[in-house]
Structure 1
């Protein structure tokens, strides 16, 4: 369906450290940005606890979302100029798809909650499902703006995010192994963390993108730019996203929320101020309105209240999180897993209840994988277009990408109170416990005691 989309009399510009300028050309995009639900993303950090490791990583879901919109806008412009559709079903770009692509790009992260993934794990929410709900619910400002385009338009935008939209070109712009979402967050996260691993040649990648019936492909001549992107993503996961300190702070956050949940069930959680916003989630009976009232600031205010709680564990975990006192972590090899019950017992003997002061956390990523239809979540592989028009999968022509294709990278770590490795006086009550614990830790890993 062709929609009448009102253009602004003069485009508006947002200054951006990654893209220099973000160009707003349509009234619907400006109206969506100005909705209550989209403005909420200013109050949710893009990288959650990573700012405890990389202090510059204070950027928000808002800035990332407008960045994804801008990359998608540039892709649409390039496709319209270079690959416009001439006849139906020719596999080229139909610019009637532009507005649904731009809206989906802008709104793709709308459903993220505070400290996104940790919050989701504890309270069993799902940011993608919440994004769809916000877009399709008549009670939201976002839905009201989208319905001005057409009564069926909110459902179309939601279907892009759900990957059920019939045009694979639009879906792959927003969600694939090389999409506007990933390209923006790699560049943005690299810039704000100060880690240069995420830099790649965005301009070159956009120049070699082209539409075809099955989605989006890349000119073979641009293979090295795509390789650079794959390696950049691999490096960012290893050096930034999987950093042990960031994961440690996630563990503390998770255990802090778990303790609050436990105390609430026992009617022992002090509720005042911001804490009341969490009640629907502590009871498991929350509405969309309840969800949209939450942001990082609300949770941080709860933690500030809990710092002075009469519950020693809740107070201590809140202090550890707010004051940045991460747990210590070491790698766990498969051979060392049998020692974990012993270490758990020692942590308990030292006065730290293991359910709140010990955890194992495995963080793994698949940098790139070829399409496997039998996989539980098959990935859209990266296709390169050869001179004769045929397509070839990236790892088939790139030895570099082939070397990491299908290979999971990451590690499994044990997290525990740093105090377990403290130097103690022989008269200290827990000195024997600490000494025994330290026999299992060597060179940053759990080992067989000597």
Structure 2
């Protein structure tokens, strides 16, 4: 029999630097926050290696997830009583908002690139598997975990709730932009959150924005654009990510070729054998990863030891701009690195970043994104870039940036290999 998930006897609040207070009135949400799978998010940073660039960026996926829940809760307050909003779906929206990132691994996207893991797939496994999260969700109904997983996986028929949590203007993006701006100390990511959620309106299959709120949405889109290029794609952060990925690649390669570690990788072993079940995945967090990086500084393998020392002590790679068409120079550099005794697979890395700040609807295109619609005074809908000159100027324009990372300190130390040093420096120009 389903447990009566109404209100707590007394409202719980979390003091939050972005939203001032996060309010929890539903027993379901309070119990989900208390699960060990959700508490694990305290040990995973929201911004991966960004703390090595912006020292304040120590905030966690836990605080972000609470923030997404809180924005969703406030949007629902605006929606209540309006056409197209079914208040019986309220708990579904709140649970999906809270759990949308529950499957993230340590250092999130860098981790995924190396081991081909998918945080959304693990979110689904956590929600549907033998977990405390699943036990709590099943108190609502037996099929409630599946409903939550379908919202997060964007396979649900309820497109309205999906768009509240995952679209071009959603609770997830609004929280991370404001939260990341706050903790990095930059001024780019600020916009009028309260104005936006007050002009949001439910439609059949998506959230729309009252036309009177267009300028607040313009501000939000430009904030997102600035944050991606000034914070998320910062070249120093990307240098740290490059080294992080190369450490994990090196450790995996050594493990698979029978290298005897001084400090055996223990809980990391399932990553290297590609035998990563849910229980093994949930044992991983950033404190575990950093423990091994700290200990592997003493390994006899010079590459692993050096890369770990670089990461732990912030001796990062330098970079130059790179043009992808200039492959001959890159091939020549690889050869020069080999001749100088540097393995280019670990010490010469091209890293690319790209972002599309806003896109309009392009039917049939892979990864198509539902555009933001403005609700006009007569009730009709118009796509944002048709009304906003600011948004039109950046619509559909994908910006890509390529950089070549290398250990400048090693090259500068080539005192006994003057010819190799000069050749490499010439090629890097």
Alignment TM-score > 0.5, same fold: yes
- The residue that corresponds to 1:259 in the other structure is 250
RMSD, aligned α-carbons: 1.5
1:174-189 matches, within 5 Å, as 174-189=165-180
2:141 is the alignment partner of 1:143: no
Give the Å deviation of 1:331: 1.0
1:182-201 matches, within 5 Å, as 182-201=173-192
2:378 is the alignment partner of 1:388: yes
Give the Å deviation of 1:114: 0.5
Give the Å deviation of 1:293: 0.2
- The residue that corresponds to 1:228 in the other structure is 219
Superposed CA deviations along residues 215-265 of structure 1, whole A, max 9, x for unmatched, are 110011111100000000000000000011111111111111111111111
Give the Å deviation of 1:374: 1.2
Superposed CA deviations along residues 73-114 of structure 1, whole A, max 9, x for unmatched, are 00001111xx434xxxxxx21111110000000000000001
Q: Is the 8 A contact 2:324 2:402 kept in 1?
A: no
- The residue that corresponds to 1:341 in the other structure is 331
Q: Which whole-Å CA distance do the structure 2 matches of 1:218 and 1:5 have between them? A: 32
2:170 is the alignment partner of 1:172: no
Select the residue among 84, 106, 110 that pairs with 2:82: 84
Give ranges in structure 1 of 5+ residues lacking alignment: 86-91, 443-450
Superposed CA deviations along residues 155-191 of structure 1, whole A, max 9, x for unmatched, are 0000100112222211101100010000000000000
Deviates more, 1:152-161 or 1:163-172: 163-172
- The residue that corresponds to 1:122 in the other structure is 114
Q: Secondary structure of the residue that 1:439 maps to in structure 2?
A: helix
Q: Which whole-Å CA distance do the structure 1 matches of 2:329 and 2:407 have between them? A: 17
- The residue that corresponds to 2:418 in the other structure is 431
Normalising to structure 1: TM-score of the pair? 0.93
Runs of 4+ in structure 1 off by over 4 angstroms are none
Q: Secondary structure of the residue that 1:163 maps to in structure 2?
A: coil
Superposed CA deviations along residues 184-203 of structure 1, whole A, max 9, x for unmatched, are 00000000001111111101
Q: Which whole-Å CA distance do the structure 2 matches of 1:346 and 1:130 have between them? A: 42
Q: Which whole-Å CA distance do the structure 1 matches of 2:310 and 2:233 have between them? A: 20
Select the residue among 128, 132, 136 that pairs with 2:124: 132
CA 335–293 in structure 1, closer or farther in 2 if over 3 Å, else same: closer
Give ranges in structure 2 of 5+ residues lacking alignment: none
Q: Which whole-Å CA distance do the structure 2 matches of 1:237 and 1:349 have between them? A: 37
Q: Is the 8 A contact 2:82 2:202 kept in 1?
A: no
Q: Secondary structure of the residue that 1:251 maps to in structure 2?
A: helix
Give the Å deviation of 1:124: 1.4
Give the Å deviation of 1:344: 1.3
- The residue that corresponds to 1:355 in the other structure is 345
- The residue that corresponds to 2:21 in the other structure is 21
Select the residue among 253, 274, 277 that pairs with 1:284: 274
CA 314–420 in structure 1, closer or farther in 2 if over 3 Å, else same: closer
Give the Å deviation of 1:214: 2.6
- The residue that corresponds to 2:41 in the other structure is 41
Give the Å deviation of 1:4: 4.8
Q: Secondary structure of the residue that 1:197 maps to in structure 2?
A: coil
Give the Å deviation of 1:422: 2.5
